[in-house]
Chains A and B, each alone.
Chain A
């Protein structure tokens, strides 16, 4: 009875609490960069000073790779061409590559900065950018990321944190600038945690930059003007809802009843797997060096110590794109940390072999019900900062709501991890073309590219003169495809004119790993023939691009842990495809791996025996029919 009463009271208390805001968080004084209350100074809010009044903001920014994105060593091996550090979907490349002059850094921040929560340490003041690490972006329930993005792309980096609070009612924006609304503040100049909406980071917070995360009540739709980066890379959607209930024009929609992501449907959030480095609730497993009888390290730090200095090097896997060095990788919660696959997959022949050779995602992400990029062409932009792109998983233009989204089945790509494991897992193969410059083959900065290709918002007249085929004085369709030497030279000349050193086209092939969008066992792949048949997924041909800019064929990826065991092939219509081959000597796929010579000789022998037997039997019958013959 007592237990029931406690449970009932606990549930009522939970229901009585606000959904988002942390009820235990004390009131907050919003401070500016000088440490003064913003209500008094009217200056822009400084998240690091505000949160740093109680939390160890220096420790947080030192440990947060989010604060160091774009800086430092990106784990690229010496001698690797500079463009290999680029994420070709977003044209995001390390800030360090932008050079150290303020102009380059500001340009980089305008184009790429909104993808980052901000900078910290000495980098914060590089080039007088004052793009401060923004705690609000992840720790309030209603961050206004679109407004923040707007101010960052306009170069107003100092207002980024302020803009993030635009939906809280604390701050307003008028033609004169940003102003704090005193009505949202307590008489002592503080704001309550509820007003600010202080919360643990939810999946929606992460989804602002990594997206798409859809947790709301409305049907999931695609904003074609703002395709989230993860969707472009892979087509992954993190949502508890079902495709059948979405607002998308999906092929076979009525049958798509599995949630977009089973983990989202089971109420997991990103930080459950990508937890804080010293979160006592997540990191109490004993170290590998602990005595064997200990599986849990009970002597964790207290909650108070953790809240004072939470380690922001969030646990993570081994990324598809280069990541800043110096931070731990491969420490996130993996499938096996929660699921006992060996126990639940006893029905699977050669269970251990399958579990050792395939990632869980190989079967539990059978299909992506969304389009994903197959190629991105940065050699000639459609509009400023807008590349030409082709998608797989959609029949028709991406922006057309009538285009049927067919979804796609990802390729299975080998992944060799530093812990010695080698598994095949799903990936979206993506090819990209871009201009590079200098001996180190660094990507041409986007600002320079825009300057070379455009004039007053339209394609540069010299390019129009050189590339306009239909005489309509504008460039569109195939006119934008640099597939002839003359077209390449025309753009190269423009790049040289704006100061790019020895511009040339490079191509890169990158498999983007797919880890979200998992389905339960009921919807997972169970057809052995998908891998074991003649059309094995491990040896399929994946279309990449309908044309090859500059005729440059990409080489094998040199970064990341995914190894493509195949070859690029040009198609009959001048496009590019990748032919995967399951030639790994450690892998044997019954039903797929055959021995043509053995099968030929064995089959021949069998046929010879059949013929011999047939002839012998016929002769016996003939002999028997002779008068006095046979037995």
Chain B
């Protein structure tokens, strides 16, 4: 059993702030979208909480982007096209078959390469498509709603809300999958603990090539 320092302090802080704000956004968003289902709560604080959480998410996202670019951590998301398909298939095969048979984890996890191929693809989709769609539609809803900007006629609040709602559902599904896959580590809570302490026990489980950092 080898202890590896996988997550730097800022990465952990960034992750948990992001997690907290997304959770707050989902809960307050559900309260806004389904006010009758959360009748005990008023819409007013839900809206304020939603805006506050969005502001935290946005600020944290920008700071994170700055950090990832200036420290080179952005390379965690880099994809080498050559062999990408094979890697992704191998990872998928592990999740669908190997994990049930105690097969070795297909990739070794190191501080410089924490993400498995499927994670990279998923995170790229989330960070460069889903999150921008959510942030841009939400920001335009906020800016247009407050009349800080004049929205073009074809970009109505109603249309923006459609995009925002669609992205929110996708986010919910992603979040559930993300949380579940954190349990596929050496123990069900190992990956969560790693994201708290930064340290992960790596590479010594029977039949495993390396530690897990799924999610």
Contacts and interface: CB of A to CB of B under 8 A. Distances in A.
Interface of A: 347, 349-353, 356, 526-529, 532-534, 585-588, 590-591, 593-595, 598-599, 601-603, 605-606, 608-610, 613, 616-617, 619-620, 623, 628-631
Contacts of B43: 528-529, 532, 590-591
Given A350-B146, A593-B161, A631-B206, A602 B47 contact: no
Given A620-B100, A623-B101, A598 B169 contact: yes
Given A593-B161, A619-B100, 10 more contacts: A350-B146, A353-B145, A585-B156, A594-B33, A606-B173, A609-B176, A629-B101, A629-B102, A631-B186, A631-B205
B100 A533 contact: no
B147 A606 contact: no
Interface of B: 32-36, 39, 42-44, 47-48, 51, 95, 99-102, 145-147, 156-158, 161-162, 165-166, 168-170, 172-173, 176-177, 180, 183-184, 186, 205-208
B194 to A, nearest CB: 16
A619 B206 CA distance: 19
B162 A595 contact: yes
Contacts of B186: 631
7 contacts: A349-B44, A353-B147, A532-B32, A587-B157, A587-B158, A613-B180, A619-B100
Contacts of A617: 180, 183
A31 to B, nearest CB: 59
A533 B169 contact: no
Contacts of A599: 165, 169
Nearest to B181: A613
A562 B199 CA distance: 67
Nearest to A610: B176
Given A352-B146, A353-B147, A528 B44 contact: yes
B152 to A, nearest CB: 13
Contacts of A601: 169
A617 B186 CA distance: 14
B23 to A, nearest CB: 15
Given A598-B162, A602-B169, A606-B173, A534 B156 contact: no
B173 A586 contact: no
Nearest to B32: A590
Given A595-B165, A631-B205, A353 B146 contact: yes
Given A585-B158, A590-B32, A602 B165 contact: yes
Contacts of B172: 602, 606
Contacts of B207: 631
Given A349-B47, A350-B145, A532 B35 contact: yes
A620 B156 contact: no
B102 A605 contact: no
B74 to A, nearest CB: 28
A144 to B, nearest CB: 52
Contact of B168 (A602, A619, A623, A628): A602
Contacts of B39: 529
Given A353-B146, A603-B169, A590 B33 contact: yes
A350 B47 CA distance: 10
A591 B38 CA distance: 11
A347 B208 CA distance: 57
Given A529-B35, A586-B156, A593-B158, A606 B180 contact: no
A588 B206 CA distance: 57
Contacts of A605: 169-170, 173
A253 B51 CA distance: 40
A212 to B, nearest CB: 35
A586 B144 CA distance: 12
A246 B69 CA distance: 72
Contacts of A629: 100-102
Given A349-B47, A585-B156, A586-B156, A356 B147 contact: yes
Given A353-B146, A588-B156, A616-B180, A528 B100 contact: no
